[in-house]
Amino acid sequence: MSVDVSIRAVLRAPQVARVLLGSQLGRLPTASGPLALLLFARQSLSLAVAGLLVAAYTAGMAVGTPLLARAVDRWRQPPVLWAAAVVSGLGFGAVALTGGHLAGAVTGAAVAGLGTPPLEACLRTLWPALLPPGTVPTAYTLDIAVQEVIFVVGPLVTLLAVTVGGPAAGLFAAAVVQLAGTAVYALSPAARSWRGVAAVRHWAGPLRVPRFAVMMLGVVGVGAAVGSIAVAVTGYAEAAGDRRLSGWLLAAQATGALVGGLCWTRVRPGGPGRLPLLAAALTVGFLPLLLAPGPVPMAGLLAVSGLALPPVLTAVFLTAERLAEPGTVAEAFAWVSTAFVVGSAAGSALAGVSAGVRYGLVVAPAAALLGAVVLWTVARPARAVGLTASRGA
């Protein structure tokens, strides 16, 4: 008997629409939070400090997400998510109430990032329990594709809040939206009934598996490629004489990623062997950007460059699920997100210091190529590359 693996079949499954919506809503601050911090710092502190606040927030997420996911693996989802959302909200509130004190603002931003609820990792642990095995890859891809909406809606929420209530309102809006999304997700029967797997755990968690650890290096490369684009496109827009173009150009790339993800739900996912091929496709998609044509064709090229991103990340998450040892799946998913964020920050920095528009655009294909090479080693049979973990250690 064949299994309906369409998006409609996934969304019709009990509780899927609720947990997907709650997770996406709770993750809005990952896109709205940095902008809220930037706008607040520009008004209350200085533009030079703005980057420091965003860096503190990003660093907090990089540290906190795997730790919180590890707690989920060992315990349950709702208590960890509630505690994290409250801590993160207090961090945003602390930044808003610092009165322009640098140390307090940086600390608050770091706390806001550190407490970011690991909703992405938690959601992906639910798919095998909510859906037939054949539809789980579709759910992964759907989640990744819809996630692109976050990076369009999130900044709009911040801009609306700041317009109505001033710079601090953007920070409070991020905290409220995050708590609301966490509530929708954490109160669902699926999240409340989920339990971690009883297992003997190693202090290194999923990173104990060498192939998984190597794959994270590949994800850093993919993240660097994607992160560099925002900075490079901003430079392109400034060179074109209209900085406002950057928003439309990045929206074009997000649209391409959304379309690519929705189309990929109709393709059989295959195994880890597809990882390097998909990463190579991502690399090829970035190459035409080096032409830096006029704004309209550039928007088209950016849309094309986004097509392969959801398939790549879907393959990464499916591989992570296979490689993770029992009792470490949530943390494994969190490490994927963390590696991507770290890579994105590195790519942004590299593109920022690159001279000229085309040199900034070089970072994306170069980083994606490095990621593809690393992911190729993961896709090879473990015995051929000596990356099999010792389960008895």
Specify the CATH number for the domain of residue 173.
1.20.1250.20
Range of the domain at 277: 204-393
**How many domains are contained in the chain?**
2
pLDDT digits (tens, 9 = 90+) for 357-375: 666 899 999 999 999 999 9
| Sign, Cα dihedral of 124, 130, 133, 135 | negative
Do 177 and 293 belong together in one domain? no
pLDDT digits (tens, 9 = 90+) for 292-327: 889 999 999 999 999 999 999 999 988 998 888 888
- Cα separation, 249 vs 154, whole angstroms: 16
pLDDT digits (tens, 9 = 90+) for 219-263: 999 999 998 998 888 888 888 887 778 878 888 998 999 999 888
Q: How confident is the model at residue 391 (pLDDT cuts 50, 70, 90)?
A: very low
pLDDT digits (tens, 9 = 90+) for 267-284: 776 666 788 899 999 999
- Cα separation, 206 vs 333, whole angstroms: 9
Of 196, 225, 260, the position where a domain reaches its end is: 196
pLDDT of residue 196: 72
Do 284 and 165 belong together in one domain? no
Of 137, 165, 196, the position where a domain reaches its end is: 196
pLDDT of residue 3: 46
Residue type for 145, please?
A
- Cα separation, 158 vs 150, whole angstroms: 12
Mean predicted lDDT score pLDDT of the chain: 86
Average pLDDT, stretch 183-195?
Answer: 94
| Residues 209/325, Cβ–Cβ less than 8 Å | yes
pLDDT of residue 203: 64
Average pLDDT, stretch 37-59?
Answer: 81
Do 73 and 26 belong together in one domain? yes
Q: SS3 for 267? A: coil
Q: How confident is the model at residue 202 (pLDDT cuts 50, 70, 90)?
A: low
pLDDT of residue 351: 84
Do 189 and 287 belong together in one domain? no
Residue whose C-alpha is closest to residue 246's, from 29, 42, 35: 35
Do 227 and 88 belong together in one domain? no
Q: How confident is the model at residue 381 (pLDDT cuts 50, 70, 90)?
A: low
- Cα separation, 233 vs 245, whole angstroms: 9
Of 166, 196, 226, the position where a domain reaches its end is: 196
Do 144 and 213 belong together in one domain? no
